């Protein structure tokens, strides 16, 4: 009984072993898949738990260092209640990738998910400025952005060098009597 079972299993195990060895010698094993970066799932650990911190949605086409990437820094309609007159994105001082205003645009987006990726549905006319020391991006839409849709700051860049975490903050100025920008949330981006 044990001998007949062994005779049935042995040829299959030998064939599987031969395929594995030939793949190892031919180098035809595939490279591991590299995940695209996006907003972390259910669990995000923070040392200093501040109740005023708000996590914002983002998507990167690549999270590898020095790799060409497209970033979508998204303000969803559920993250705000008013229109946007001006958007200011603060950039960490240690962010060493070159930011160029001509490689940025403001767009109405459809946020991606399991079955689709984030994409620009419509480009919104806006003036985009990056300050001299690369620590702030200011976006001035030609018309105030209504609060009925999701909008993203689309940035095309080479990811910074080094495996680091970057916190970009969104400051929004709403239409009204007081021209003051208020904190809307933060994008906590991890570059591998």
> How many domains would you assign to the chain?
2
Q: Are 44 and 55 in contact (CB under 8 A)?
A: yes
> Are both 13 and 64 inside the same structural domain?
no
Write out the residue range of the structural domain in which residue 14 sits.
1-30
> Are both 130 and 182 inside the same structural domain?
yes
CB atoms within 10 A of CB 164: 15
**Which residues, listed in sequence order, are joined to residue 145 by a DSSP beta bridge?**
84
> Are both 76 and 122 inside the same structural domain?
yes
Query: For position 45, what pLDDT does the model report?
Result: 56
List of the chain residues with pLDDT < 50: 19, 23, 28-35, 42
**Which residues, listed in sequence order, are joined to residue 68 by a DSSP beta bridge?**
158
> Are both 126 and 167 inside the same structural domain?
yes
- Going through the chain in order, the beta strands assigned E by DSSP cover 58-60, 68-75, 86-90, 104-110, 119-124, 126-130, 136-141, 151-158, 164-173, 181-191
Q: Are 107 and 122 in contact (CB under 8 A)?
A: yes
> Are both 8 and 63 inside the same structural domain?
no
DSSP 89-129: EE--TT--SPP-GGGEEEEEEE---SSS--EEEEEEPEEEE
Q: Are 69 and 183 in contact (CB under 8 A)?
A: no
């Amino acid at each position: 009984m044990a001998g007949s079972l062994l005779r049935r299993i042995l040829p299959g195990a030998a064939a599987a072993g031969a395929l594995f060895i030939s793949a190892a010698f031919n180098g035809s094993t595939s490279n591991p898949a590299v995940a695209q970066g996006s907003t972390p799932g259910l669990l995000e650990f923070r040392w200093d738990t501040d109740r005023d911190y708000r996590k914002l949605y983002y998507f990167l086409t690549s999270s590898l260092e020095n790799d060409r990437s497209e970033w979508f820094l998204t303000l969803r309609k559920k993250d705000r209640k008013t229109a946007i007159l001006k958007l200011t994105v603060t950039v960490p001082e240690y962010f060493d990738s070159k930011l160029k205003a001509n490689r940025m645009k403001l767009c109405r987006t459809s946020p991606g998910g399991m079955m689709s990726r984030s994409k620009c549905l419509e480009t919104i006319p806006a003036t985009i400025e990056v300050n001299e020391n690369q620590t702030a991006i200011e976006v001035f839409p030609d018309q105030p952005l209504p609060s009925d849709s999701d909008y993203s700051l689309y940035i095309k860049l080479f990811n910074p060098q080094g495996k680091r975490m970057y916190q970009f903050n969104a400051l929004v100025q709403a239409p009204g009597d007081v021209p003051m920008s208020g904190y809307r949330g933060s994008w906590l981006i991890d570059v591998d």
